[in-house]
Amino acid sequence: MRRCVLLLALGLPLSLAGAARAGETACWFENGAVVAPAVIGVMAGDYVIDLSAPRTLLHETKAQMEGITDPEITLPVEVAGLKAAGVSVKVADLDARGAGFVTPIAGVIGMDVLAGHGVEIDFRRCRLRIDRPWRAGRQVVLPVMVIDGLPTISAAVSDGPRALSGAFALDTASKAMTRLASRGAAATGKLDASARNLAPATLRALSLDGVLAENVPASLADDLPDGIAGTLGTGLWARHRLRLAADGKSLAIAN
């Protein structure tokens, strides 16, 4: 748990770990995912911050250590100064998602906790800020549409002769620049399903708000709801700052 271990040994609360002030915490960018200190119930640890996850998840190994055997349990969640009470947390086997991380992943903080809050992720400095003032000079603001609880923006991908456009979820926990819903992957050629920390394929192009990226690292996703064509992962966001508005209607992108 990196810095958290030392801070806990000194008797400091986890909610202050890496935090400069309430509503902000240091994070780290590992294995294609944003990871930050958080607490579910009394279970402190390293949690993936995933804007493309509709539910907050607790690793079953972590749950079993606390004697939790139910598949779902209602617990408070705390991350970056945000305290959410009464969250229905799903207990899940996260061994596959935890592959490749230096330290064990305790769970995933999803949109059921983050929705309704201004969420900023500064990839370059790796800071997670919740409900903090957004300060940016040059920025692009894109409209967001929420589908089944997930914030999405319009984008298109192509393998050359074929193209796929639609709503793409904001993915802060996958290495690939884009993950395509497996049900529609035939429209973009051959892709093999893979772990979220891998990007085994390459697409010809990705278009977002009139900006074209070429030779795009890609993989498949089999966990997306109907109406979402794919996700836009950390391979796209890693040099930027993102802020999802509290009302869920816009995404600001700055350098």
pLDDT of residue 6: 29
pLDDT of residue 222: 86
pLDDT of residue 17: 38
217's CB contacts (< 8 A; 6+ apart) are 175, 176, 177, 178, 199, 201, 202, 235
CATH 1.10.340.30 given to domain 139-254? no
CA distances from 148 to 55, 154, 218, 247 (A): 11, 16, 23, 15
What are the sequence ranges of the domains in the chain?
Answer: 3-130, 139-254
Which segments in the chain show pLDDT lower than 70?
1-22, 183-194
Domain 139-254 in the same topology as domain 3-130: yes
CA-to-CA distance for 144 and 74, rounded, in angstroms? 29
pLDDT of residue 198: 87
* Helices marked H in 51-109: 60-65
pTM above 0.85, yes or no: yes
Q: How many CB atoms are closer than 10 A to CB 215?
A: 11
Can you read off the two tokens belonging to residue 9? 């040994």
pLDDT of residue 90: 98
246's CB contacts (< 8 A; 6+ apart) are 116, 117, 118, 131
Q: Which fold has domain 3-130?
A: Cathepsin D, subunit A; domain 1 (2.40.70)
For residue 38, give the nearest of 114, 115, 148 by alpha carbon.
Answer: 114
Q: Which residue is listed with tokens 């408070």? A: 76
CA-to-CA distance for 34 and 123, rounded, in angstroms? 8
